[in-house]
Amino acid sequence: MFPEESFRLNSVSVPSGVGRQPASDDETLQGAATRARNASREFVNANYWVGIEGGITEKDGDMAAFAWVVVLSEDQVGKSRTGTFFLPRDVADLVRGGKELGEADDIVFGQINSKQESGAIGLLTREVVDRTALYEHAVLLALVPFKNPELYNR
Rounded to two decimals, what is the model's pTM?
Answer: 0.94
Q: How far apart, in whole angstroms, are the C-alpha atoms of residue 125 and residue 10?
A: 29
Alpha-carbon separation of residue 137 from 15, 32, 45, 122 (angstroms): 24, 16, 26, 16
Q: How far apart, in whole angstroms, are the C-alpha atoms of residue 84 and residue 91?
A: 16
Alpha-carbon separation of residue 38 from 53, 141, 143 (angstroms): 13, 21, 19
Q: How far apart, in whole angstroms, are the C-alpha atoms of residue 62 and residue 93?
A: 10
Map out the domains of the chain with their CATH numbers: 25-152 (3.90.950.10)
Cβ atoms of residues 27 and 55 within 8 Å: yes
Helices (H) and strands (E) in the chain, counts: 7, 4
Print pLDDT tens along the chain (154 aa).
Answer: 999 999 999 999 999 999 999 999 999 999 999 999 999 999 999 999 999 999 999 999 999 999 999 999 999 999 999 999 999 999 999 999 999 999 999 999 999 999 889 999 999 999 999 999 999 999 999 999 999 999 997 5
